[in-house]
């Protein structure tokens, strides 16, 4: 069986708390031997999670919006050039076995919606999604986590059960 791929989504503009959490999340994913996938850019949650994974010896995969690697995180092992802009969000969330959503804006919300509509599990890490996604919380497809370690434990449980 191939190594699990874990998607990490989140804001391009993030505060220090979210960036520290994303970096820790990347490290924990790497320590589990999983592959980290994100949007590939050298900003916000994408840069922090890739840095955490690389510093912990992990493998990183970035799904880039443009037609070249300009602006890509230097911590990517495999940059995937799509030329799709925001449409790459579907690839971002359908490729992983499980997605973890850190706090973010409209792009992150679109990724969460794409994942859930396609029956992909999403761990919302310190991210209150309100009532809009209640149906998915009730079904168990959307799971809340209050820390990076809790999110990774949720992923491990999901992988063991599916």
Q: What is the pLDDT of residues 126-156, one digit of tens each?
A: 999 999 999 999 999 999 999 999 999 999 9
Nearest alpha carbon to residue 100 among 22, 16, 44, 160? 22
| Residue 54 CB contacts under 8 Å (≥ 6 apart), including other chains | 26, 30, 60, 75, 77
Dist CA 53 CA 29 (whole Å): 7
pLDDT of residue 106 exceeding 80: yes
Q: How many whole angstroms separate alpha carbon 65 and alpha carbon 39?
A: 8
Tell me the C-alpha distance between 138 and 50, whole Å.
Answer: 31
Question: Would the pTM of this model clear 0.85, i.e. be above it?
Answer: yes
Domain ranges of the chain: 20-98+115-127
How many residues does the structure list for the chain?
162
| CATH 2.40.160.40 matches 20-98+115-127 | no
């Amino acid at each position: 069986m191939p190594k699990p791929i874990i998607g990490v989504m989140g804001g391009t503009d993030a505060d220090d708390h979210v960036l520290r959490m994303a970096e820790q999340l990347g490290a924990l994913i790497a320590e589990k031997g999983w592959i980290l996938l994100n949007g590939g850019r050298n900003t916000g949650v994408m840069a922090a999670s890739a840095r955490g994974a690389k510093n912990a010896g992990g493998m990183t995969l970035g799904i880039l919006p443009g037609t070249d690697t300009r602006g890509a995180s230097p911590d990517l092992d495999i940059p995937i050039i799509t030329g799709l802009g925001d449409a790459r969000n579907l690839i971002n969330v359908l490729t992983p076995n499980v997605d973890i959503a850190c706090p973010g804006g409209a792009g992150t919300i679109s990724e969460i919606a794409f994942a859930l509509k396609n029956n992909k599990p999403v761990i919302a890490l310190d991210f209150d999604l309100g009532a809009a996604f209640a149906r998915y919380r009730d079904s168990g497809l959307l799971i809340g986590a209050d820390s990076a370690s809790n999110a990774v434990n949720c992923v491990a449980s999901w992988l063991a059960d599916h």
